Amino acid sequence: MGSYIPFTEQQREQARMTDLAAFLRQCGEEVKRCGSENMWLDHGQKVTIRGNLWFHQYEQVGGDAVDFACRFYNLDYREAVLTLTNMGVATIREPVEPFPTKPLKIPAQYENMRRVYAYLQRRGIDRAVLDQFVRFGLVYECAEYHNAVFVGKDKTGKPRHIHKRSTAAQGGFKGNTAGSEPEYSFHWRGKGEVLYLFEAPVDMLSFITMYSHYWQNQSYAASCGVSDKVLWQMLKDSPNIKKVCICYDNDEPGQQAAQRISRALTEQNISNEILVPKAKDWNEDLVRLRKEQPG
């Protein structure tokens, strides 16, 4: 862990107000102009740039330049401020209009869940595990497009996050609904001491299927991306959690994010461990396991 550097308020503000389009171009990244805004691709997913602000269209999360450096360049706060101030990139002089927030729209539920059950069981998810999430209103089939809907609720039971996934056999739509709060993405809150953190709901359900012995006792969360906001909200809402297992994808973005989150937890003296799937993700591990099982 690096030594502490007491930044001045001027240095903090300079870093926060860095022109993100100029920063990205100086880093050799391709940034495209889209009307009054800029667009940058995060592994094929659209990130809108507006001055010193950014918004990830898939994950429905955003922030300022310091948040951007922490998130996409896997830096801690100290490293981010140093990087942004030392690069000599132009800063935004006038405050930028923030990205508008939209109220969360809850998709209407279809009369049955045949397509969602068929899709998730095709992905190897155990029906008994799925039944539990359906029972608590955390998974259902939407009426309009028959997508699988994964609901994130707060402690009062109010829906605060919606992630939708197409049930089509070949690929299809997936993403978070506008107005979703990443702090409350799809999760299960148990009374045990361990929290397992995943990128996607299907990976979370796959892991639970593979390690289902007393699974309800522990806590699980799918960040629906690589944001760590749901992690910190879970720790805040569940003081019984003493250890975090970071179960992100076995690829460069996933493991870089896992290392970043592990460093942040260690700095807070929170016990943590990185668990890596054998294949790219936990669902691929589950599908392979199903194929190897007799009968």
Task: Give per-residue pLDDT as tens, 70-92.
Answer: 989 988 888 999 999 999 899 99
- pLDDT at position 32 is 95
Query: Is there a single domain that holds both residue 121 and residue 246?
Result: yes
Residue 48 lies in a domain: yes
Q: Let me know if residue 211 belongs to a domain.
A: yes
- Can you spell out the DSSP letters for 64-86? -HHHHHHHHS---HHHHHHHHHH
Q: Are strands 139-141 and 148-153 parallel, antiparallel or unpaired?
A: antiparallel
Contact criterion met (CB below 8 Å) for 236 and 285: no
Q: How far apart are CA 86 and CA 148, in angstroms?
A: 46
Determine the 3-state secondary structure of 265 from DSSP: helix
Identify the pLDDT of residue 5: 66
Q: What pLDDT does residue 197 have? A: 98
pLDDT for 8-66, tens place per residue?
999 999 999 999 999 999 999 999 998 889 999 988 889 999 999 999 988 888 999 99
The predicted-structure confidence for 143-157, as pLDDT tens digits, reads as follows 999 999 999 999 999
- Predicted local distance difference test score (pLDDT) of residue 171: 64
Q: What is the mean pLDDT of residues 256-268?
A: 92
pTM: 0.85
CA distance 7 to 5: 6
122 & 61 share domain: no
Q: What is the pLDDT of residues 213-230, one digit of tens each?
A: 999 999 999 999 888 999
**Where in the sequence is the domain holding 41, given as residue range(s)?**
9-86
Let me know whether 154 and 282 are in one domain: yes
Give how many domains the chain has, as a whole number. Answer: 2
Q: Any bridge partners for residue 160, and if so which?
A: none
On the question of pLDDT at 3 being above 70, the answer is: no
3-state SS assignment for residue 7: coil
Tokens of 242: 């003493």
CA angle 264, 39, 84 (to 5 degrees): 45
Are 272 and 154 within one domain?
Answer: yes
Query: Residue 1's pLDDT band (boundaries 50, 70, 90)?
Result: very low
In order, the DSSP letters of 84-148 are HHHTT--B--SPPPPPPP-PPPPPPBPS--HHHHHHHHHTT--HHHHHHHHHTTSEEEBTTT--E
pLDDT confidence of 272, banded at 50, 70, 90? Answer: very high
Asked, for residue 126, whether it belongs to a domain, the answer is yes
Q: Which residues contact 163 (CB under 8 A, 6 or more apart)?
A: 149, 150, 152, 174, 175, 176, 177, 180, 185, 186, 201, 222, 224
Domain of 30, CATH number, reads: 3.90.580.10
Q: Are residues 257 and 161 in the same domain?
A: yes
Same structural domain, 82 and 144: no
> According to the model, what pLDDT value does residue 112 have?
96
Query: Mind listing the pLDDT tens digit for each residue in 226-250?
Result: 889 999 999 999 999 999 999 999 9
Whether 58 is covered by a domain: the verdict is yes
Statement to judge: residues 125 and 248 lie in one domain: yes
Q: Is 108 a member of any domain?
A: no
Of 198, 249, 199, 250, nearest to 219 (Cα)?
198
256 shares its domain with 122: yes
Residue 271 lies in a domain: yes
Whether the predicted pLDDT of 181 surpasses 50: yes
CA distance 189 to 161: 15
195 lies in the same domain as 55: no
CB-CB neighbours of 216 under 10 Å: 14
282 and 159 inside one domain: yes
Asked if 12 and 19 count as a contact pair (C-beta separation under 8 A), the reply is no
On the question of pLDDT at 188 being above 90, the answer is yes
